[in-house]
């Protein structure tokens, strides 16, 4: 690398970072994308379930090349009941995240982004003369200094950029684990498993892949309501004993991963994702900014959306020389997602207070009422509140909701 000064440096080559870099370069400013690993998209820590909308948001010419299977709906299992959900409005896809991220990075480079792999950002300092990044490179013991007017921290759930400049958007993380292996999947249907013995505070999943008898099987837990600190203990038990998972799991595991999902600060208002000085600025985007759906943990679509906003605002700050326009980033993404995230956090709180009987009541009630039709007609995996607001207010479920709320407030 010859040049060491850029208008915009984006840290992290995931979906949010690739999109932020692409949009900054598209606006005409010099842009560098730094990724700590040697290959974009690896290692994978994702179930790869994306909506049609998320694929469109990627603006890839051929997103279908990253798709391993179309998903038509979901079967939801509570301990004693099950429910088939078929969306009338939306399709979803099981995507290969390694290929997807690589295509996003290629598109960014095509737009003019300079990409550097095996570059781990150690610290970022901001000042009126710009941002200074200290970067560990491939050569052992060599630390390179890079300067930028704006840094975009797209470096995931344990963001070094956020820590360096004192930004915090995450209240705590859900712990996740996943395997890819042999599985007798419901053809074209994702399977979701809820219950405190299965995945306390969240859910477990099996996502069918390709044509073969293979699936991604995983789960997340919220440690606050879990008897065990590690999600692995639950995964092992599910694969050995769960009345559906154990029966369908074939025994062979080809890939294992662990990861974390950031929960946004309460109401998503108290967290901060922009740090601005007179001559420089830092923005956080994607998981680094906790821009995820608390109900499902999905973050790719929001990361792509907010990546565009971050790239645009970073470029505008450089082109006008007015770093104050970076504050507009925070306003813009919150305007789009605040309500959805706040609603998701409320649902997550209720879920944390539910027991297995509550889950059974919920699934049984939905399957026997007009609610099912409403969910199927209005269900939207990127904006789940559209269908779920009605659910929470439904008279048949009101006692359960009130009980869960009281339990949550009492046990908190
Ligand atoms: C088990 C699991 C399953 C999931 N399933 C889904 C799903 O089905 N659908 C969905 O939409 N979302 C899912 N998610 C969430 C999704 O994976 C994330 O929301 C998404 O990857 C966030 O994108 P990002 O670009 O913000 O961060 P990431 O994809 O995490 O990318 C961050 C990048 O930054 C790099 N990096 C980190 N630190 C540094 C540094 N110091 N210097 C340089 N580079 C650095 C990393 O190597 C990485 O490439 C899942 C998450 C987990 C854990």
In-domain check, residue 256: yes
Ligand 1 centroid to residue 156 C-alpha, Å: 5
Q: Cα(287) to centroid of ligand 1, in Å? A: 6
* pLDDT confidence tier of residue 247, bands split at 50, 70 and 90: very high
Last residue of a domain, one of 304, 339, 374: 339
Q: Are residues 320 and 361 in the same domain?
A: no
Asked whether residue 66 is domain-assigned, the answer is no
Tokens found for residue 209: 């892949």
Whether residues 334 and 355 fall in one domain: no
The residue nearest atom 21 of ligand 1, judged by CA position, is 300
Determine the Cα–Cα distance for residues 359 and 194; give it in Å rounded to an integer. 7
Query: Hey, which of 133-142, 198-207, 403-412 has the most confident mean pLDDT?
Result: 198-207
* Ligand 1 atom with minimal separation from the 299 CA: 19
Amino acid 141: pLDDT: 75
pLDDT tier at 270, thresholds 50, 70, 90: low
Assigned domain for 104 exists = yes
pTM attached to this predicted model: 0.95
Does the structure show a pLDDT above 70 at 1?
Answer: no
Model pLDDT for residues 177-187, shown as the tens digit of each residue: 999 999 998 77
User: What tens digit of pLDDT does each residue of 215-246 get?
Assistant: 999 999 999 988 889 999 999 999 999 999 99
Ligand 1: residues with CB < 6 A are: 11-17, 34-37, 45-50, 120-121, 154-156, 160, 176, 178, 218, 259-261, 286-288, 292, 297-301, 303
CA dihedral 281, 285, 290, 291 (to 10 degrees): 130
Is 84 a domain residue?
no
Span from the CA of 201 to the centroid of ligand 1 (angstroms): 21
How far does the centroid of ligand 1 lie from the alpha carbon of residue 97, in Å? Answer: 10
pLDDT tier for residue 411 given thresholds of 50, 70 and 90: low
**C-alpha 12 – ligand 1 centre gap (Å):** 9
Handedness of CA 387, 393, 396, 397 (dihedral sign): positive
Domain that residue 204 falls in: 172-264
In a shared domain, residues 311 and 407 = no
At 388, the pLDDT band (50, 70, 90 cuts) reads: confident
CA 370 to ligand 1 centroid distance, Å: 37
Least confident of 68-77, 159-168, 334-343, 362-371: 362-371
Measured in Å, residue 46 CA sits from the centre of ligand 1 at: 8
Query: Domain for residue 61, yes or no?
Result: no
CA angle, 70 then 72 then 74, to 5°:
120
Q: Are 408 and 349 in contact (CB under 8 A)?
A: yes
Residue 369 has pLDDT above 80, yes or no: no
Is 59 a member of any domain?
no
Minimal-distance CA residue to ligand 1 atom 33: 12
Both 319 and 397 in a single domain? no
CATH code where residue 108 lies: 3.50.50.60
* Domain match, 44 and 148 both: yes
User: Which of 299, 301, 309, when mutated, tests ligand 1's pocket best, judged by the most ligand atoms within 8 Å of its CB?
Assistant: 299
CB 82 within 8 A of CB 186: no
Give the distance (Å) from ligand 1 centre to CA of residue 396.
38
Q: For residue 88, is pLDDT > 80?
A: no
Atom of ligand 1 nearest to the CA of 159: 38
Q: Does 260 lie in the same domain as 147? A: no
In this structure, are 324 and 390 located in the same domain? no
Nearest Cα residue to atom 10 of ligand 1: 298
Residue 79 lies in a domain: no
Cα–Cα distance for residue pair 251/246, rounded to 1 Å: 9
On whether both 126 and 40 belong to a single domain, the answer is yes
Last residue of a domain, which of 203, 236, 264? Answer: 264
User: Can you give the pLDDT at residue 400?
Assistant: 75
pLDDT value, residue 268 = 52
pLDDT value, residue 3? 61
CA distances from 137 to 120, 133, 189 (A): 7, 12, 43
Confidence band for 261, pLDDT divided at 50, 70 and 90: very high
Q: How far is the CA of 92 from the centre of ligand 1 (A)?
A: 19
Q: What is the per-residue pLDDT across 63-82, written as a single tens digit (0 to 9) for each?
A: 999 999 999 999 999 999 99
Residue of 300, 302, 305, 306 to mutate, ligand 1, most atoms within 8 A of C-beta? 300
Rounded to the nearest angstrom, the distance between the alpha carbon of 310 and the centre of ligand 1 is 17
Does one domain contain both 107 and 234? no
Domain count, the chain: 3
Domain-ending residue, one of 218, 247, 264: 264
What is the per-residue pLDDT for 209?
A: 94
Q: Which atom of ligand 1 is nearest to the CA of 157?
A: 30
Same domain, 149 and 19: yes
Tens digit of each residue's pLDDT (9 = 90 or more) over 132-184: 999 999 877 789 999 999 999 999 999 999 999 999 999 999 999 999 999 99
Q: What is the pLDDT, as a whole number, of residue 318? A: 97
Minimal-distance CA residue to ligand 1 atom 12: 298
20 C-alpha to ligand 1 centroid (Å):
14
Statement to judge: residues 203 and 318 lie in one domain: no
- Segment 282-300 shows an average pLDDT of 97
Q: Which atom of ligand 1 is nearest to the CA of 287?
A: 26
* Mean pLDDT, the chain, whole residue set: 92
Average pLDDT (309-324) is: 97
Q: Which atom of ligand 1 is nearest to the CA of 288?
A: 26
User: Residue 211 is part of a domain; what is its CATH number?
Assistant: 3.30.9.10
- 159 domain-assigned: yes
pLDDT for residue 391 is more than 60: yes
Same domain, 300 and 401: no
Mutation probe of ligand 1 site: the residue of 9, 33, 43, 47 with most atoms within 8 A of C-beta: 47
CA 64 from chain center: how many Å? 20
């Amino acid at each position: 690398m010859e040049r060491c000064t850029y208008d915009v440096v984006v840290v992290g080559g995931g979906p949010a970072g690739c999109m932020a870099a692409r949009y900054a370069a598209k606006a005409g400013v010099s842009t560098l994308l730094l990724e700590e690993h040697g290959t974009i998209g690896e290692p994978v820590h994702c179930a790869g379930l994306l909506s049609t909308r998320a694929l469109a948001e990627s603006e890839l010419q051929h997103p279908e090349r990253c798709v391993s299977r179309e998903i038509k709906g979901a079967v939801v299992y509570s301990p004693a009941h099950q429910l088939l959900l078929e969306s009338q409005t939306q399709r979803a896809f099981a995507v290969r995240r390694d290929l997807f991220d690589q295509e996003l990075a290629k598109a960014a480079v095509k737009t003019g982004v300079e990409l550097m792999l095996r570059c781990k950002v150690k610290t970022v300092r901001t000042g009126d003369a710009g941002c200074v990044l200290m970067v560990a490179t491939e050569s052992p013991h060599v630390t390179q200094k890079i300067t930028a007017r704006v840094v975009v921290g797209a470096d995931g759930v344990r963001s070094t950029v956020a820590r360096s400049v004192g930004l915090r958007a995450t209240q705590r993380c859900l712990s996740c684990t996943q395997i890819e292996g042999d599985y007798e999947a419901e053809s074209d249907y994702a399977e979701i498993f809820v219950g405190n013995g299965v995945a306390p505070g969240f859910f477990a999943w099996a996502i069918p892949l390709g044509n073969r008898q293979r699936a991604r099987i995983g789960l997340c837990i919220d440690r606050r309501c879990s008897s065990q600190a590690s999600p692995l203990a639950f995964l092992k038990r599910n694969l050995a004993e769960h009345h559906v998972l154990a029966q369908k799991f074939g025994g062979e595991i080809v890939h294992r991963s662990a990861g974390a999902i950031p929960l946004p600060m309460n109401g998503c208002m108290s967290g901060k994702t922009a740090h601005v000085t007179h001559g420089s600025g830092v923005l956080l985007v994607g998981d680094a900014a906790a821009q995820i759906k608390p109900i499902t943990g999905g973050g790719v679509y929001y990361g792509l959306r907010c990546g565009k906003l971050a790239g645009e605002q970073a470029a505008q700050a450089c082109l006008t020389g007015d770093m104050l326009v970076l504050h507009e980033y925070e306003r813009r993404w919150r305007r789009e997602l605040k309500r959805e995230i706040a609603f998701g956090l409320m649902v997550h709180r209720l879920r944390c207070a539910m027991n297995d009987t509550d889950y059974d009541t919920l699934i049984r009630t939905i399957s026997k009422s007009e609610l099912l039709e409403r969910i199927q007609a209005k269900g939207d995996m990127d904006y789940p509140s559209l269908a779920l607001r009605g659910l929470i207010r439904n008279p048949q479920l009101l006692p359960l909701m009130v009980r869960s709320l009281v339990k949550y407030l009492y046990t908190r």
